Chain A
Amino acid sequence: MTTPVLRVRNVRKNFGDHAALDDVSLDVHEGEVVVIIGPSGSGKSTLVRCVHQLESIDGGAIYLDDELLGYERRGAGLRPLTARRVAAQRRRMSMVFQQFNLLPHMTVLRNVTEAPVRVHRRDRTEARTEALELLDQVGLRDRADHYPRQLSGGQQQRVAIARAVATHPRITLFDEPTSALDPELVGEVLGVMRQLAEDGMTMIVVTHEMAFARDVADRCVFMEAGRIVESGPPAEMFGNPQTPRLRAFLARHNATMEGVS
């Protein structure tokens, strides 16, 4: 078996006295789609934010392609990297946020080309051509010259996905990408993500969309109280949950879904 793209090893993260992540370990292989589910406050978002080094970790280690993230070995011990070198490591990953976080003062096209041009020093016209292709793929080529605020939430999130993949990341992290959307806009975003998964993108997706987890995930991870409680192929997780906690979570979830319909 090849080495994983991402290795999370015994990671701990505390917010004050509260353990947001408690001894979390996870491998993600090339082309794999890992979907993380679990109740609110279980540490799912914290985990992907720690992977992308938007939060520091208090213990354990995270490796991207066997490179330790955020620290370097100096003599016998580890030393934190400078912000510039952390930025260099982040360039090989991308993230899609719950609140989209498009840059409001730049057009849609500039949002997509900004990182390739400024960070990856790609040729401007080449980056532009590729950005327009990506916008075409997410169905928004005709909105290239609009500003983010002129788009609906679903459109903004599709732009954010185009922005994330424009840098050819080794892995793309999705932090509840549909949670801030009106229900009728969720489908268009999930559709784009489904397409990326089929194209072989390596992804971690934090979501409450159980149908997406069941259909698209290669592997599903259930977190609760900062720990990974259960993980495995989605068919087994949803069909035959092993732990009482996952059973309870799925039962609660089904109940609310029925309540909605």
Chain B
Amino acid sequence: MTTPTAAPADDVATARRRVRPWRWAAGIVLAVVVAQIAWFLIGNSRFQWDVVGGYLFDSSVLAGLGTTVLLAVVAMAIGSLVGGLLAAAQLSDFAPLRWAATAYIGVFRGIPPLVQLIFWFNLAYLLPRLSIGIPFGPVFASWDANVVITPLTAAIIGLSLVESAYLAEIIRAGLLSVDSGQRDAARAMGLTPGQTFVRVVLPQAMRTILPPAGSQFISVLKGTALVSVIAMADLLHSVQVIYNRTYQIVPMLIVACLWYLAVVTVLTIGQRRLERHFSRGHGGRA
């Protein structure tokens, strides 16, 4: 065997980092943009930051914020429940259930939420009295629709119906993403259909369901701004009431924006936590 010629020994550990000019260029552009935005926000006196600060924790604004969060949570809760049932109906092997679920989703996902809200608010025109009884038979109790359909009930009904239609699709995709071998294994272990769903299928489906459901929660939170058109005292409506009186439109909208961003940030953090919880056993080593 011959010894290698006496060239210098190569060692990649001694290599210097490559200069990347485009990264420098992009960095400089970004810095300029950020500086300009900051200058615009601070230097433009029309933002009236003192007014923003003054109203940020105003009691009517906080009440509106509470209504907005409450509406979003209730719509999400009802929407998840109904959406889960719709997803189950869509996966049923009984065809009429599938058709009914498909029709429901088609209708409530197909009509703009704003239109639905106004429609539900005006339900009394179509159904002056709401009653509980046997279909085509005796009536046990009935109420005046004008009393039952307040801005709050109209908002809850409208937002929940839209949410349930979207969540049904998200949940259905999640359930379908679980490997059929998992259902086999659960059944083979002697789990009942209910246990199979709760202990095996749903926890695994949650991995697929959570990211889009989180986005959906964020979009319903923002969607609650629509209820201001039916005079519901949500966050947007509460700042509108103030700027209609003071004409400080931009600072009051900034107040609303800051609160929307704050709640969405909290939701996003919560979503990440949940995602981590349901990805147990997947991804990296524990």
B266 interface residue (CB < 8 Å to A):
no
B193 touches A87 (CB 8 A): yes
Q: Between A and B, how many residue pairs show CB distances below 8 Å?
A: 76
B272 within 8 A of A: no
Cβ contacts under 8 Å, B188 to chain A? 52, 54, 90, 94-95, 97, 101
Instruction: Say whether A18 faces chain B, with CB atoms less than 8 Å apart.
Output: no
Residue of A104, A115, A118, A167 touching B204 (CB-CB under 8 A):
A104
Give B172-227 interface residues, CB cut-off 8 Å to A: 179, 181-182, 184-193, 195, 199-200, 203-204
Docked complex: A129-183 residues within 8 A CB-CB of B: 146-150, 163, 167
Chain B residues with CB under 8 Å of A114's CB are 189, 199
Q: Are A84 and B192 in contact (CB under 8 A)?
A: yes
- Tell which of B190, B204, B281 touches A87, judged by Cβ atoms closer than 8 Å: B190
Q: How far is the CA of A91 from the CA of B191 in the complex (A)?
A: 8
Hey, which chain A residues are within 8 Å of B181, CB to CB?
97, 99, 101
**How many residues on chain A are close to B (CB under 8 Å)?**
32
Q: How far is the CA of A115 from the CA of B188 in the complex (A)?
A: 10
B26: min CB distance to chain A, Å? 38
Q: A234: shortest Cβ distance to chain B, in Å?
A: 27
Render B249-286 as a binary contact track against A, CB cut-off 8 A, 1 for contact.
00000000000000000000000000000101110011
Q: A87-B193, A146-B286 are in contact. Are A104 and B184 (CB under 8 A)?
A: no
Are B278 and A97 in touch, CB under 8 angstroms? Answer: no
Decide if B195 touches A118 in the complex (CB within 8 Å): yes
The CA of A61 and the CA of B190, in the complex, are separated in Å by 20
Q: Does A103 contact B (CB under 8 A)?
A: yes
Q: Tell me the residues in window 197-235 of chain A with beta carbons closer than 8 Å to chain B beta carbons.
A: none
Q: How far is B186's CA from A95's CA once the two chains are assembled, in angstroms?
A: 10
Chain B residues with CB under 8 A of A107: 281
Q: Which residues of B contact A81 (CB under 8 A)?
A: none
User: Is A119 engaged at the interface, CB distance under 8 Å to the other chain?
Assistant: yes
Q: Which residues of chain B are near A97, meaning CB under 8 Å?
A: 181, 184-185, 188
Pair A150/B285 contact, Cβ less than 8 Å: yes
- Tell whether A87 pairs with B185 under 8 Å between CB atoms, given A114-B199, A150-B286: no
Contacts A97-B181, A101-B181, A101-B184 hold; do A147 and B280 have CB atoms under 8 A apart? yes
Q: Does A88 make an interface contact (CB < 8 A)? A: yes
Residues of A within 8 A of B278 (CB): 105
| 18 pairs from A and B in contact (CB 8 Å cutoff) | A52-B188, A54-B184, A83-B192, A84-B192, A87-B191, A90-B187, A91-B190, A94-B188, A94-B189, A97-B185, A103-B200, A104-B281, A105-B280, A114-B189, A115-B189, A115-B190, A149-B281, A150-B285
B contacts, CB < 8 Å to A: 179, 181-182, 184-193, 195, 199-200, 203-204, 278, 280-282, 285-286
Other than the given A83-B192, A105-B203, A115-B190, 11 more pairs (CB < 8 A) read A53-B187, A54-B188, A87-B190, A88-B190, A95-B188, A97-B184, A97-B188, A99-B181, A101-B184, A105-B282, A167-B190
